[in-house]
Structure 1
Amino acid sequence: MVEFWDHNGFGFSNVNAKQQLLSWLNDSIFLQPKDVILKAMTIACANNKRRLSYVVGILKNWKNESLLPIEEIDSYHENQKPVPKHSQSTESFPTGRVIPSGFELDLTAGEAC
């Protein structure tokens, strides 16, 4: 777990954060704490949030949801629907100005010959 922390950009020299993370191993209600913590760290990496507070937030959410074995956590995440991003309206709008029918462009108009 500490190796994952060191090799994935969480802060090689952040000893205090590593100690706090390890405390989740000893004082955890999770059934497979090491696997659960690694899963939370993997999610943090995927979201580019390599901070202890983010990992702990994930763990606290799972604890509050009573997702204790890793299988329940995996099932929970598989059933989550992705949040749809705001999409462009499918309505089409003309670009530029509306040109009246019958208009002819004469580039030489107004020039003296």
Structure 2
Amino acid sequence: MKEIIEFWDNNGFGFSNVNAKQQLLAWLDDSHFLQSKEVILKALVIACSNNKRKLNYVVGILKNWENESLLTVEEIDDYHESKKQDQNARNSTHSFPTGRDIPRGFELDLTAGEE
């Protein structure tokens, strides 16, 4: 609990925002995470890296992980790594040409229709 409060206070989440701290600490007891403290700290780190130092953002991260049944830091890391690999694979193997092919025999006549 002390580590979470210290991280919150030292990283710009709002030193005097006691209500937000209490709501965040409720996740220690009310969540299904197997490593509650570590998971909450990971969510705080991600919020900092995205420059989103708000309780709602952190809670959103935690809810997403809970909805995905990611209950440990290892499961969260594996999930994000596999998503990153999937995205990289999609980006590298699917290159689509821009525009449409020009049909054979097509001739562009810029003066057509002018008389």
Could you state the TM-score of these two structures normalised by the residue count of structure 2? 0.69
The structure that has the greater radius of gyration is 1
- Identify the residue that residue 71 of structure 2 maps to in structure 1: 68
Give the counterpart of 1:53 among 51, 56, 78: 56
Q: CA RMSD in A?
A: 1.5
CA distance in structure 2 between the aligned counterparts of 1:61 and 1:38, rounded to whole angstroms: 15
- Identify the residue that residue 5 of structure 1 maps to in structure 2: 8
CA distance in structure 1 between the aligned counterparts of 2:82 and 2:15, rounded to whole angstroms: 34
The answer on 1:36 being equivalent to 2:53 is no
The answer on 1:78 being equivalent to 2:67 is no
CA distance in structure 2 between the aligned counterparts of 1:77 and 1:44, rounded to whole angstroms: 15
CA distance in structure 1 between the aligned counterparts of 2:35 and 2:29, rounded to whole angstroms: 11
Tell me the alpha carbon deviations over residues 32-91 of structure 1, each in whole angstroms, 9 at most, x when there is no partner: 00000000000000000000000000000000000011110011112222687xxxxxxx
Q: Mark the runs of 5 or more structure 2 residues left unpaired by the alignment.
A: 92-115
Equivalences for residues 21-32 of structure 1 within 5 A: 21-32=24-35
Moved over 3 A (4+): none
**1:80 aligned counterpart, secondary structure:** helix
CA distance in structure 2 between the aligned counterparts of 1:27 and 1:77, rounded to whole angstroms: 24
Could you state the TM-score of these two structures normalised by the residue count of structure 1? 0.70
CA distance in structure 2 between the aligned counterparts of 1:20 and 1:52, rounded to whole angstroms: 8
